[in-house]
Each structure stands twice: as C-alpha cells, then as structure tokens.
Structure 1
Amino acid sequence: MSWRYRIIDLVRRTRSLEGYRRLCAGDGLGDWRLRQRRALGELLVSLQRHNPFYGSLLRGVKEATLREEPEEALYSLPVMDKTRVSEHRDELYAPPSGYPPPARRRTGGSTGSPFEYYVDADTTCRARAYLLFCWHRCAGYEPGDPYITVAGRSLQGEGSFRQSVYRFLQHNTLVQAHRIGEGALPPSRALRRARFIFAYPGALCALLEQEPGLSKQMASLGAVFTTSEQLLPAMRRQIESMLKVPVYDMYGANDGGLVSCECGEHAGYHYDPLNTWVESQRTAEGESELLLTSLNTRSFPLVRYRVGDVAEVRDMDDCPCGLPWPGIVNLKGRTRDLIRLPDGSRVHGSLLNAVLADFPEVTRYRIVQEKSGKLSVYVRMTPDTGARASERLRNSIREACAGLEVEMLSFKEPGGSDDKFRVIESHAV
C-alpha cells in the first residue's frame, strides 16, 4: 500500500517515505547530538549568507564560529513571536537560489491570531516521516494502512478537493468533529480495517458517548493518537476503557516544524532533534516556555520562535522504550492560559488541572475565567456522585485560587463548531 505515499511524495516533491524507512532502520538515533549541532551550524551559515534579516544580525561572526560553536551564536539571536515575525516578513522571506518554492501556510490555531508563514519541503518531509514512524512504533502501522481521523480544521484542512484527494491517498477516513451529534459514522468497512484513530480527545470522547459499542466494530484497532487539545487523565481513561487500546498523546507546532509523541512509557514526548532545535525560557510568571528553531527551513526561517506553550525539554537517552531522542515534558498548555488571582498576580491554569485530577468522579470539565475574575467551572460527574462532592470541588478550587468566586455549572459538549476545545480559558485582563 506504500504506493499511496509514493504518489503524495511525488506531488509534494518530498521524500517522506524514504525518511520513514531510514528512521525505522535507526538512522540518526545514535549520533543525533553531533548531527544536530552540525545541522544548526549549517542553518546559521546559510542565514548569514542569504537571509537579509539574520545576515545583518550575524554580520562579523566568522563562519568557523557558526559551525564550531553554533549554540553560542543561536542564543545571541533575538526571541521571535508572531508579531515580530510579521513585522520583518519581507526581510525574513528569502528563498536561497536553487531551492524549491516553499509551501505557504496559514494558521490562527488556538491563539486566535492569523499567521502566515512558509515551510521548505525538507522540513515537511522530516516531519511527515517522523509522524509515520511514531504511528509505526506505537500501533504497528505501515504507510498506506487505513486509519480514521476525528477532528476539525487543524487536522482535516479546509475541505478542499485537494485535501480530499490527500485523505484518499493516505487511506484516511474523516469524522468531522462538528457533525458527531448527527450520527455521522464512517462505513463499517472503514471501522473494521482502521489501524488507529487520530483525534481531538474531546471530539473522540463525544463520539464514544454517542457510540459506546464502537470498539466491537474496530477489529484491527491498535492504538489511539490524540492531538491539538489537552488530553486530561479522565479522557485518557475513558478512551482506553471504551476502545481497549492504548492512547498516545501527540504535541506539535506546524509553524515551528515540530512533531512529538508519547512512547509506551508515557514519560514525555519524543521529538526529532534533526528537524527542530527546542529550548525554553522563563516567563514573567516563572513558567518554562518553549522556543523552536526549524533546522531545515531556509526560505522563511523561524529561529528561537515563541510557539506560546508552557513545557520543559529533557534528555531521554535512557528511556526504556529504546528511543534516545530528547523529549518535551511537563506540557501544561498555552502561555496565555493564566488565571488572575484577587491580588493581581497570575498562575497558570494547569494548577486547576491538578486540583481536578484529585476528583476521579469528574469525567469532563472546562474552566472559564470571566472578565470580572469569577471562575465558571463546567463539570460532568459520574451519575452516582452527590452534591457533597461538587461542593468539595468548589471549595478546593477556591482554596487553590486564593478565594476567587467560583460558580459550578453543568458541562455540555461544544456544538456547532469544529474548532479545538480549550479546557482552561481566561478573559480577565
């Protein structure tokens, strides 16, 4: 079935299938640090020579220094965010002579701010190869095997004919998140043959509540991969108990060239260090924020790019899963998911996730801080849960948030939209 991906590679002018096979053969696993430093040095030399924005910043730095001490040169460059990238767009966009035209991408994502950027084929190739590799390691997938996607725009595209053709070639059957309430299930043949499910966790939980016997129709299912939304412990338990397969959460940033995935140890998210250099910096609130440098895009470089997520980077050489590549750990969510306390200070919303984790009777929740500062806590509890548990939860949240006003409300599945679901959301200035 790999002929499907050969056609995709031909159209996209990539070599993802070749890259996938090299990863399966262990290429780049043992000497990744040396190769990563070399790739970073090559990137900086290219930017010094060909990119107007970074050429001016690296002027006067010897080429030998860029190659031999690339980290020092990298950390001397400014941190970039969407606003700054957009301001210097004309200087940053500079495809080197002889390079294939980059692909133009546009995202509003979970930040809500439209952002246009460009990605070179080499970045797309490595990212796609690593995605296939993760699916293979965790689900026994081979390129061309059928699978099912349960998602909205960020995974399915904008519904164009071209996207439909790509899904056909990928053997990917789509369940649109905003149509789950309409009973839109894939054909029984697609369910029976699907090797894995790739899904928004919230949308998949909603589908399972609508179709509790779905596992009986999915004889070939080997795993579930969740992405794009925060996977809560209760969601993981629900999916694994109802589908009877392991769940592997994935984290990625298309604009930063990053794809990462949990392994069977669930100790972190392994990523490809030969495609992305990942570092972190401390925010004003003391959180660790990710910065990404795409190592294989020259046309529109995103260097030390603030992707807007709170997490840490860790070496995982001794991971029992056998993959020595580094990982992202303590992934908490967006940097802007901050709860304002009565004294004016702010804490990250992940604090509330920790509080909710102590209440196993809570099956779904969403927390919104209103402009007034009040917390609207939407929860769904198991049917046998009494009012006393709800009051204990309310008091625990108030205590964690220094006495903020808390209103307990009934959780309802989001409807009429295929956007990503945000667990923590703050509108307090």
Structure 2
Amino acid sequence: MRTRLAIRMHAMLERYFPERRLFLRSDSDTRFIRLKPGTQLFAFVGGSAIVAWTIIATAILLMDSIGSGNFREQARRDQQTYELRLNALSDERDARTDEALAAQARFNVALDQISEMQSQLLESETRRRELETGIEVIQSTLRRTMQERDIARSEARELDQAQTEIASSSNGATPQSNEMLDVISTALADTAAERDQVIRDAQSALSLAEEMKLELALMEEKNDQIFRQLEDAMTISVEPLEKMFTSAGLSTKSLMDEVKRGYSGQGGPMMPLSFSTKSGDLTAETLRANRLLDQLDQLNMYRIAAETAPFANPLQSSFRYTSGFGMRWGRMHKGTDFAAPYGTPIHVTAEGVVVHADWQSGYGRLVKVRHANGIETRYAHLAKIRVKKGQRVSRGDVIGDMGNSGRSTGTHLHYEVRLNGRAVNPMTFIKAGQNVF
C-alpha cells in the first residue's frame, strides 16, 4: 500500500520536478549529483519559505518605519500644540496676575480714600455742630440785643416826652430846672448812642448769622458729596469680596460670625462705630453716617475674613500648571501641581497656624497650615522647610522652597486645600480671588 502511494507521489512529482543531474567537471574527472523530485520539492519549498519570510519581514519593517515616522510626527505636533497651549495659559496667568495686582492696588487706594473721607466727615460733623452752636449763641445774643433795643427806644421816648414838657415850661425855668434839662439831654444823647450801637450790633449779628447759614449749607452739600462718594466706594469694595466668597463656595454669614467671634474685644478692629447725639432724635445725616459706618465695619470684617481664606497663589514667580485636581491614572489627585525651577520660594496663601512641618511618606517634605472656618492648606514635595510647627504665618510669607522630595517624578509643588477635612479644588479659591488679590 505504501509502495503504491509512494509510486503515485513519485510519478506526480516527476511531472513537475523531473529528475535532474548536476554535472561537476574537473580537469581529470567528471562527476554528477542526482536531484530527485523529493529533493527538488524540498529545495523549492524551502526557497519559497525564505523568499516569503524575506518579503513579509521587509514589509513589516517598512510599515513599522512608516508608522514610527507618523507617530513621531504626530507626537511632535501634539507637543507643539501642548507647548503653545501652555504658553497661552502662562500669558493668561500673567495677565490675570497683573489684573489682580492692579485690583489690589485699586482696593488699597479705595480704602485710603475711605479712611480720608471718614476723617473729613468726622471733621465736617464737628464743624457743623460748632456752627449750629454758634448760630444758637448769635440768635440768643440777637434776641437779647433786640430786647435791649426795645428798652432803649422806650427810654428814648420817655426822655423825648420829658424834654418836650421841660421845653414847654422853660420860659419860667429856674437855674435848677436848666441844670435838670442839661442832665436829661445828656442822658437822652447817651441813650440814643447806645440805641444806635445796639442796632449796629444787631445788624452785624444778622449778617454773621447769614454767613454762618451759608457756610452751613455749603458744608451740608459737601457732606452729602462725601457721603455719596463713600457709599459708592462701599458698593465697589464690598461687591467683589462677596462675589469672591460666593465663587469659592463659602458662606458669608458663617465667615462673618467667625470673624466676630475672633474679634469681639472692645476697642479692637471690630468695635462698632456710630454717631450719637446727647439728647433728642437722630438727624437724617447722623442716621446716614451710622449706616455708612456700619458698612465700613462690614468691609473691615470682609477684609479680615479674606485674609484667613486661601485666595492667593502659592507662587509669585513664573510657573506652569502640570496637573489639576481630579482623577488621574485611575486615582484621585487631591491637589494642583505647579512646576517651576528648583528652590522657587513657596508662599502661604492665607493667614493661619502651621500644624505640620516635617517629612510625611509620599508627600515628602510637607507643610500644613490651618486657617479659620475649617480650612487647611498643604504644600508638598518641598526641598526645604522654612517654618516650624505652631508658628503663625500671614498671607505671602515664605514657608519653603520648591523641590522633588517624596513620591515625585520631577520638581514641582503639590498644593492642596481641604475644607473640614475634605479635599476641594484649589483653583476654585485662586480663580475667585484673581480680581481682588
């Protein structure tokens, strides 16, 4: 059976691969090599396999080369796009920083103007009271003068009548009568002179009273202008602060309550201010001044609250964002990463107390600062720590240098904001404070 199958296969191979002989001739001898059909088939299959493998390998290498070139080109384009985007973000950040600095300067100027206007208002109120007192004194003096004038006129009439009677009886007058007449005439002249002086004094008092009324009217108009300017300044100053707290998701009521609890001592910065009168009802200007001073008190509370919340940026030099808050590689990234040169100063973003200043596992060198209203900020991967535990810091103080400590792949700052122990997006606070700080 096997022989027949072998014969058939041999016959079929003979049709395609007939037996061949390869002659090898030398100078003295001739030899040949017989190539059987099976050998030729094996050589053909082997050669075909080698050629096919060569073609496939060449195609794979060519396609890989083309694909690698496309991938590198795409990676280069992506890198250029990313760099352009980073540059745009950096320019936008610089512009926002300039705007924030300008807004802070305007805010400080507004506070200075408010303080100056408040002083002018207090001086104006004092001057107004002095003028009112002066007018009352002048009016009292004028009333007394008018009474004296009326008395003098009555006395002058009596003297005139007496002089007439004496003149009518002067034909039979005695030396004593003449002497009496001279005395009466002298008294009458003195009374007339006194009357004229009283009239002049009354006219002077009336003129002075008119001048003081005019000055009082001008002062009231000036006070009204100062009030309007102060009220506008209050509106311009308070609205950005309220918007800043609202954008950061903070309750202004709880913030104000916290500030009041922290600054409740008499004579401190939160001591209520008001005008008052010794007796009688408060005037419209006094009520307006009290409302304005209440707004100043509220603005002062907002300012103190803003100092205790992390609205500032931890870096005050050039930097770029490298990673934001949220999911990253399947894990929650609880902060924002800022990249800058090694050793860049790190600034605390709000007033608070340092509660940790040491090494902590993956954070590396870590500084934790506790602020008011249950807020805590963290500054990780530092190269050097420049504060101690328990130290009180104010916004802008340098607390460390940027580094690469802990579980970090490069020089950067990992910045966290935690509200009542829960991590929140730091950019919410930074963006909210861009137009104020």
Q: Bin the TM-score by the shorter chain.
A: under 0.3
TM-score by length of 1: 0.22
Higher helix share: 2
1 or 2, which has the higher strand percentage?
1
| TM-score normalized with structure 2 length | 0.22
- Bigger Rg over Cα: 2
